[in-house]
Amino acid sequence: MTANTAALLIQHYVDNFRRLPWRAAPGEPAPEPYRVWLSEVMLQQTTVATVRPRFERFVERWPTIEALAAARHEDVLSEWAGLGYYARARNLIACARAVAERGGFPSTSVELRQLPGIGAYTAAAIAAIAFGERAPAVDTNVQRVIARLHRLRHAPREIIEPLLLDMLPAARPGDLIQAMMDLGATICRPRSPSCQECPLRSECAAFASGAPAQFPAPKVKRVRPHRHAAAYWTEWNGQVWLVRRPAKGLLGGMAALPTSEMTETPPRNLNSIGVVRHVFTHFSLDLHIIVASETVGDGWWQPVAGIDEAGLPTLFRRAAELVMSASERRAA
């Protein structure tokens, strides 16, 4: 099955290639490792549709790894605002500086894993796509496609990686990996897979079972704990007081409104303007927006009219939008 499956998948990729700014088309020279690395970091927990314009803006501002390595920490975090999972941005800076110091990216997955913020999957993806190493890069789409091909209810990485490795050709293994990523994203979806459009249906044991969506078994969702915190809006002369969050921890290093400690119960304050709810990876949060007359912490005055230029993460951007909407309603 392996050789035929790989051939069918590659042909489908050639015929249905998605041109993305970090990719090289089948038959073209491999893309720059900088672009592959940056795209893989951005795409973690984030959709292609969201990443594409942000990637293009990012590489226009910092077109090389050397340019990114020389950038100010605050500028990179500000540019990252809205993409979420901000530890990625901090690791991005550390990795760029490490790569620039050594004179370029290493070309093997083993060496790539030694860089800040690069795990097993990202290292394998860069090595396969940019350097042509037969490295089994297993993301969620690849995992699902392989699991269905082999009708696996449980598909841990240690099972999937050797099955993928058996399929990888000696030449341009990254094309097959990207072909499988595309197949999982567009056809072999978690629910309601479009099996009649799939080039691998004749090879697929899950399709033959008549219930392909049952493979692999869905993960049991954990109940997220819920938290509350207050964010303080202090406005003076058309400006709002902002602070920079501690480098480590939630939204580390990002511009923000001053906040209280998180609690399990809502804060009691009569000056609350409203609440912004945000879901993080491990918990959900109600952020209560409170009008304050005094500044809190070390920070700076940001013009309210230029709040979009502050680089606020989504949580605090939505808080600012709530306050400004309330002000507009009062003025009307």
- CA dist 296 and 241 (Å) reads 8
Q: Give the catalytic positions in this structure.
A: 40
The string of DSSP codes covering 186-242 is HTS-SSS--GGG-TTGGG-HHHHHT-GGGSSPPPPPPPPPEEEEEEEE-EETTEEEE
- CA dist 314 and 83 (Å) reads 8
Bridge partner list, 290: 232, 272
Alpha helices by DSSP H, the chain: 2-16, 33-43, 48-61, 65-69, 73-80, 87-102, 109-112, 120-131, 140-149, 157-167, 173-186, 205-209, 314-331
Residue from 91, 169, 183 nearest 128 by CA: 169
